[in-house]
Amino acid sequence: MTTPRPTRRRRIVPVAIALAVSLVGLAAAVPTAAVAHQSSHAELLRLHATRGDAAAIVDAANRQVTLRGVNVNSLGDYYRANSSLPTVVPVTDNDWARMAARGFNVVRLLISWSSLEPRAGHISHSYLRRIHRAVDAAAAHGIYSVIDMHQDAWGKYIASPSGTVCPSGSEVAIGWDGAPDWATIIDGASTCRRGSREDSDAVLTAWDNFYADRSGIMTHLVHDWSVVAHEFRAEPAVAGFDLLNEPNHGRGANAITNLGTYYRRAIEAIRTGEHGHQAFHHAVFFETSVFGVAVDPTFSTDTNLVFAPHNYGESIGNIPLAAEFDYYQLLANGFHTPMWIGEYGWFSDPPTNQEKLGRFAAKEDALLTAGDGWWQWRQACGDPHSVGHPGGTPDAVLVHFQRNGCPGDHNLGVVPEWACTWRPYPRAAPGRLTERRSGCTGNAIIAGSTPGPGIIDVWYPGSARPTISGTNVARVHRARVDGGWIVTARVHDNYTLQATSA
One domain for residues 346 and 428: no
Residue 197 lies in a domain: no
Among 422, 442, 472, identify where a domain stops. 422
Within its chain, how far is the Cα of 341 from the centroid? 7
Instruction: Using the CB atoms, write b or e for 16-29: b if 16+ within 10 Å.
Output: bbbebbeeeebbee
Q: Is 130 exposed, middle or buried (0-12, 13-18, 19+ CB in 10 A)?
A: middle
> Measuring CA to CA, which residue among 286, 294, 275, 265 is closest to residue 338?
286
Give me the domain span that covers residue 494.
424-502
Same domain, 133 and 95: yes
Return the beta strands (E) in 46-105 as ranges.
47-50, 56-59, 63-65, 67-72
In a domain, 21, yes or no: yes
pLDDT computed for residue 28 by the predictor: 36
Q: Are 458 and 493 in contact, with CB atoms under 8 Å apart?
A: no
* pLDDT value of position 6: 42
Domain boundary among the residues 422, 447, 469 is at: 422
Give yes or no: residues 279 and 403 share one domain.
Answer: yes
**288 and 431 co-located in one domain:** no
357-378 b/e (C-beta count within 10 Å ≥ 16 → b): bebbbbbbbebbbbbbbbbbbb
CB neighbour list of residue 126: distance below 8 Å, 6 or more residues apart: none
Q: CB burial class (10 A; 0-12, 13-18, 19+) of residue 389? A: middle
Radius of gyration over alpha carbons of the chain, in Å? Answer: 22
Q: Is residue 128 part of a domain?
A: yes
- Report d(CA 35, CA 220) in Å as an integer: 20
Q: Are residues 326 and 272 both part of a single domain?
A: yes
Q: What is the pLDDT of residue 280?
A: 85
Using CA atoms, how far apart are residues 450 and 495, in angstroms rounded to an integer?
8
Same domain, 456 and 331: no
Is residue 5 included in any domain, yes or no?
Answer: no
**400 and 428: one domain?**
no
Per-residue confidence (pLDDT) for residue 277, from 0 to 100 = 60
Q: Are 394 and 431 in the same domain?
A: no
Total domains, the chain = 2
On whether residue 177 sits in a domain, the answer given is: no
Specify the length of the chain in residues. 502
* Domain contains 431: yes
Would residue 27 count as lying in a domain? yes
* Residues 217, 110 share a domain: yes
On whether the CB atoms of residues 219 and 213 are closer than 8 A, the answer is yes
In a domain, 480, yes or no: yes
- The pLDDT, as a whole number, for residue 103 is 98
pLDDT of residue 108: 99
Same domain membership, residue 128 and residue 53:
yes
Domain endpoint, select from 369, 399, 422 = 422
Q: Cβ distance 492 to 483 under 8 Å?
A: no
Q: What is the mean pLDDT of each run of 10 residues along the chain (502 residues)?
A: 39 46 38 42 86 96 98 98 98 98 98 98 98 98 98 98 95 98 98 95 97 98 98 97 97 90 98 83 97 96 98 95 98 98 98 98 97 98 97 97 98 98 98 94 94 97 96 98 97 97 80
Alpha-carbon distance 205 to 208, whole Å? 5
Shared domain for 479 and 388, answered yes or no, is no
Are 302 and 390 part of one and the same domain? yes
Query: How far apart are the C-alpha atoms of 142 and 104, rounded to whole Å?
Result: 9
Question: What is the CATH number for 345?
Answer: 3.20.20.80
